Every structure is written in C-alpha cells, then in structure tokens.
C-alpha cells in the first residue's frame, strides 16, 4: 500500500537504468544520525525519500545528495504543525529536487516555501497492474471469513495501511447495517499494521460489525487479482496524496467509490471516472445506484481506464525518475 508500493516501483525504475537501490522503512529510524551512520557504513552514494517529513527529516544534514517525493499527508496535514513545517522547509532547502504528484500539490508547497519552486517537478503516479494467474479466490474468501455459498456476492474492498488518517472505520457502521438487510453485500478491509494501537481498535469494532472483514496485507499480484473479482474499490481516507489503490482499480476495470477529499477529487471525476461521496449515507446510495445501473458502471470503468492510460503512464514515470536521479551524481 501507499508509500511502500511507490518505493518498490521507483526502485524498479532506477535498477532498470543500472543503479543499485536499497529500500529502507523510515519508521524504523529515530533520527538523522542513524541514517548518517547507515549511509557511511554501507557507502551509499545518494538517497531518495518519500514523504517530506517522515522520510525527509532523516536526511537533514545528509553527507550524500538526495531528492524528495511528496507523500500527501506531508503537504496536506503536517504543513499545519509549526515544527514539522520548519523541518520540511530545511529538507527542501537541502534537497537537489522534489517531486509532487499533482500541480495542486506543487502549488501548495510553493506557497509555503517559494524558494523551492524551481526544484519541484510534477510527476503523477505511474500505474502497471499485475494480477496473479494463480490467485485462489475461494481461499481468499475463506481467509476473509466470507461465506462462499453467498448468492450474488457483492464485495467491496478498501485497501489501506491501518492508521487513523486512512479512516478505515468511516463506513463500518453504515455498511454493517446495509449487510443486515442485504446479506450478499460485504466489505473487506486489507492492509498492513501501521499504528498497532489503532489496529486493536479496528479489530474490536469489526468483531461487532457483521459483513465487514479485516485481512492482513497480501502480495500485490494477489491483491490485484482480488480487486478484479470484487464489485468496487473504496477509499475513505481523511487525507490523500494520490492513492495508488484507486488508480490500480481504475486500471483493472473496477469501479471506485471514494471520499470527496482534494486528493481523491484530483483523480476522480464524479459519475465519469468514479463516484465521490460526502458521507457514509451517500456512499450507500451511490453504491446501490451503481449496482442497479450497469450502463453507469460500464461508462465509469471505461472512462477510468482511459484516464489512467492517458495520465498515469508507467513508462513516463520511469523516464522521469531515471532522469532525476542523474541530478544526484
């Protein structure tokens, strides 16, 4: 999910150009001194961080040149906190370049740090989906606790790292109420533990919510295969940069229902490439309208697929990062 998917994809781009690229999880490090020791010990020649605060703060005063990729919550949320704002400004001063997923994200950063404008380029997420041909749908349903004899199963999937900003519980009550009336409707929440304390809260809530199921993360090709078999992909985040899960669903010809926030509205045109909901009740209404209107569903998946092909080219992203990395030599 999220940054991990982006990091793995960019690593592939860079290694295709002959570089050796090692991925490290920013959450495992406390501060810049640990990264400085790592860089020294492993003789790394350059660094690339995702998320201006979470990743970038670790590269302050770095002995090697580095670039930054905005994550989303850094520009949308962390920017509001004085100390984080200061740290992010310092990181941008030191970075050779920065990447924003959208023009709006670049504009927001430029307003806060005008001196960084010339360093920021815009490159949308590049999408390439790879559904597994060995995926076992029955086992997936079994692991989710979804009865396999359900007639006309209608499965919604929400993919996210389990933390509060992703708000995976936003739709749980209304979805469970809907399931009680229509037992064929199910919601599967899939993703890794990011905030262990919050995950305990999620598990307790879901135990009391029939029709809602929690699954641990699964390999990306299996996830893509599961998405292809579901009715729709859901995003209920409070804040997003650019959701790869949403874009992947579009590429896989699966409808998307997303919370109407700036990050989602930047890539979804309502009733054209997806559906945007303002509250849980509207989510149910829009879902039902989609279920009862095959013409609307076909229009949405066709236009969404075209949108991804046109604006989220994997090949274009590859060229951009292979070019940017030369600035770190």
| 224-239 confidence digits (pLDDT tens) | 999 999 999 999 999 8
E-strand ranges in 70-222 read: 97-100, 120-122, 154-159, 185-190, 212-215
Residue 33 makes CB contacts below 8 A (sequence gap 6+) with: none
* Separation in Å, CA 255 to CA 26, 229, 232, 295: 33, 11, 5, 12
pLDDT at 318 over 70: yes
Considering the chain, what percentage of its residues have pLDDT values greater than 70?
Answer: 99
What is the predicted pLDDT for the residue at 2? 63
Q: How confident is the model at residue 3 (pLDDT cuts 50, 70, 90)?
A: confident
Q: Indicate the SS3 state at residue 258.
A: strand
pLDDT at 89 over 70: yes
Report the pLDDT averaged over residues 1-11: 83
pLDDT at 69 over 70: yes
Report the pLDDT averaged over residues 95-105: 93
Report the pLDDT averaged over residues 7-35: 94
| Contact call for residues 100 and 120 (beta carbons, < 8 A) | yes
| Length of the chain as a residue count | 329
What is the predicted pLDDT for the residue at 312? 95
What is the predicted pLDDT for the residue at 1? 55
Q: How far apart are CA 87 and CA 93, in angstroms?
A: 10
- Look at 147-151, 178-182, 235-239 and tell me which has the smallest mean pLDDT: 147-151
Report the pLDDT averaged over residues 54-61: 94
Report the pLDDT averaged over residues 157-180: 95
- Quote the tokens at residue 96: 């050779």
- Indicate the pTM of the whole model: 0.87
Report the pLDDT averaged over residues 117-142: 94
For residue range 191-222, what is the model confidence (pLDDT) as tens digits?
A: 888 888 999 999 999 999 999 999 998 999 99
Task: List the 97-100 sheet strands across, edge first.
Answer: 47-50, 66-69, 97-100, 120-122
Q: How confident is the model at residue 151 (pLDDT cuts 50, 70, 90)?
A: confident
What is the predicted pLDDT for the residue at 5? 83
Q: How far apart are CA 48 and CA 301, in angstroms?
A: 34
For residue range 108-118, what is the model confidence (pLDDT) as tens digits?
A: 999 999 999 89
The domains of the chain, with CATH numbers, are 2-126+313-328 (3.40.50.2000), 137-311 (3.40.50.2000)
Compare 241 and 13 and report the one with higher pLDDT: 13
* Separation in Å, CA 81 to CA 78, 84, 119, 156, 319: 6, 5, 23, 35, 35
Q: Which residues pair with 99 in a beta bridge?
A: 69, 121
Q: What is the mean pLDDT of the chain?
A: 94
């Amino acid at each position: 999910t999220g940054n991990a998917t982006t990091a793995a994809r960019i690593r592939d781009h860079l290694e295709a150009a002959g570089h050796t690229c090692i991925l490290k999880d920013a959450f495992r490090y406390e501060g810049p001194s640990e990264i400085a020791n790592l860089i020294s010990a492993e003789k790394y020649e350059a660094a690339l961080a995702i998320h201006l605060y979470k990743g970038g703060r670790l590269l302050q005063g770095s002995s090697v040149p580095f670039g930054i990729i905005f994550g989303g919550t850094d520009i949308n949320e962390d920017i509001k906190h004085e100390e984080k704002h200061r740290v992010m400004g310092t990181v941008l001063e030191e970075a050779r370049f920065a990447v924003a997923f959208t023009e709006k994200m670049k504009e927001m950063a430029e307003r806060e740090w005008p001196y960084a404008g010339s360093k920021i380029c815009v490159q949308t997420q590049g999408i390439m989906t790879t559904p597994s041909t060995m995926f076992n749908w029955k086992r997936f349903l079994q692991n989710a606790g979804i009865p396999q004899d359900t007639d006309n199963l209608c499965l919604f999937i929400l993919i996210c790292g389990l933390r509060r900003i992703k708000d995976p519980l936003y739709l749980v009550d209304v979805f469970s109420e809907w399931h009680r009336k229509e037992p064929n409707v199910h919601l599967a929440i899939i993703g890794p533990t990011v905030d262990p304390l919050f995950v305990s809260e999620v598990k307790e809530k879901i135990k009391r919510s029939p029709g809602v199921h929690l699954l641990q993360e699964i390999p990306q090709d299996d996830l893509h295969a599961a998405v292809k078999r579901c009715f729709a992909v859901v995003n209920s985040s409070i804040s997003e940069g650019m959701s790869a899960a949403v874009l992947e669903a579009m590429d896989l010809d699966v409808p998307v229902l997303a919370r109407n926030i700036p990050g989602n509205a930047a890539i979804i045109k309502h009733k054209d490439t997806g559906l945007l909901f303002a509250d849980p009740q509207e989510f149910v209404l829009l879902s039902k309208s989609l279920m009862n209107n095959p013409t609307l569903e076909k229009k949405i998946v066709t236009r969404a697929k075209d949108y991804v092909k046109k604006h989220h080219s994997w090949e274009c992203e590859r060229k951009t990062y292979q070019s940017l990395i030369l600035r770190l030599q």
